[in-house]
Structure formats: C-alpha cells, structure tokens
Amino acid sequence: MAVTATARVMNGGSGGGGQVAVVERERQQVIGASMMEQLVPEITTHALSYLDYPSLCRLSMTNSSMRRAANDDNAWKALYHKDFTMEQDSITPANGWKAYYAATRAIVNTNQHFFDIIRERSLPEMGRLWLNADYVKCIHASGEFFTGYSGVLGSWQLALNWEPAVNFQVRDVRSRVLPGVAWVTMKAYVGMEHNATHPMSMTNVFELHNGQWFMVHHHSSVMLADGEVADQPPMLG
C-alpha cells in the first residue's frame, strides 16, 4: 500500500499538500490495521476455518473488517463440515452457509432435546416436542407402531412410566435441513444402567411451524450383525 501511495505522489508531479495527505492517511491505515486485516482474503478464510462457532461469532462483533471476514460463506462452509458432516459438500444453500449452519445447529439441538426428555422421563416435554397432528408416526425399537398425536403420546407415556432407566450413547449424527422440514439419522447405543447394549439405528423427522421445530416421525430399529439374534429390545427408542 505504501508503494502504491508513493507512486501516486510521483505520478502527480510536484506532490502537493493534498497528495501528501493521502500518503499519510494510507500510512496510518496500515499502521492501525491488525495483522489479520492485512492478510489476503484467501489466507484470512483459511485462518478462520480453525475457529469454532462461538469464536467466529465473537470475531464478527469486533469491527467492520472482521465482520466481513467472519461472514464469509467459505468460512461457514468449513465450520459446517468440521462440526457436522462432509456429506453435503456439493450443495448450495439458498441463504448461504451461515444460515444453513444456524438451521442445522438448531435441528441438532432439537434432536438432542429428544434424548434429554427420555433421560428426564418427562411426558409433558415429550408432548411439547411432538406436533399435535393426526399424521405423526412413531415406530419404537420393539416394532410397535403408533400413529396420530394421542397414539404417539400414549406410547411414550407407557414407555416412560414402565421402562427402567436408560443410558444413551448417540453417535454418527447426520442431518439434512430443507425449508420447513428436516431429518436426522443416528446410531444410538441403548442399555440399562451403565451397560450400553441394544445398538439401534434411528431416524427423526421434524417440521418447522411458527419458527419452532416439532417432531413428526420417529423410527428406531435394532442393528444386527449377520446371523445375530436380537435380545428383547426396550420399548424406549
């Protein structure tokens, strides 16, 4: 920048007071800029890819230059792949990767809330999680199928009241968010007390209504190796 400013003075002939002022102003801008602000955009984006979600949000509130850098779509795409999955590398979110990251985080948190409700054995919270509609469906690991809001809640009332305490280890969580609907797949290792047994494959489907995600479908099934015979799985799940 200093070389450019000097060249501007030289090309201007005598380099009057106005041009000298331009040189001085640009020199002060370089002196006052942080090291991050002086990096080329490609290096800045690469550096931001090492930040986590809270850090990237905090950086965006420091100044206008860092806000532009922290809102860069490539930075949020890198963060999405780091926090969630590489499976959706080829998609182009309609509202950009920052909005898609926020929507994915919201649905992953809602999905986690489902497991928290089971651990807390709270039927009222389960009722608030499910959409009150006649088309909601629930298939438990036991194979029992329930449809409609009343039927689904009745199944959870039975499960939460009668099943022993359940410990979950949820792994391989994958989500896909579309306008108004999202689904999450995962492996849930479910066991009584501290023994993680009964590995299950689960799918949860959610719909967005008035800015809130509601569950509309839950399906869990026991994962078996070739030739393996299943123990009686718990209804929970």
- pTM of full prediction above 0.85: no
Residue 118 pLDDT greater than 80, yes or no: yes
What is the Cα–Cα distance from 132 to 136, expressed in whole angstroms?
Answer: 8
Q: What value, to the nearest 5°, has the Cα angle with vertex 235 and ends 233 and 236? A: 105
Amino acid in the structure at residue 35: M
pLDDT at 70: 80
> Which tokens sit at 105?
């985080």
Contact 167, 144 (CB under 8 A): no
Contact 88, 176 (CB under 8 A): yes
Percent of the chain with pLDDT over 70: 71
Q: Mind listing the domains of the chain with CATH numbers?
A: 2-83 (1.20.1280), 96-222 (3.10.450.50)
**Phi, psi angles (nearest 5°) of residue 227:** 80, 0
**Phi, psi angles (nearest 5°) of residue 75:** -65, -40
Please, what is the average pLDDT of the chain? Answer: 79
Could you tell me which residue, 80 or 66, shows the higher pLDDT? Answer: 80
Could you tell me which residue, 86 or 131, shows the higher pLDDT? Answer: 131
What is the Cα–Cα distance from 115 to 107, expressed in whole angstroms?
Answer: 13
Q: In whole angstroms, how far apart are CA 199 and each of 5, 45, 132, 171?
A: 67, 40, 30, 10
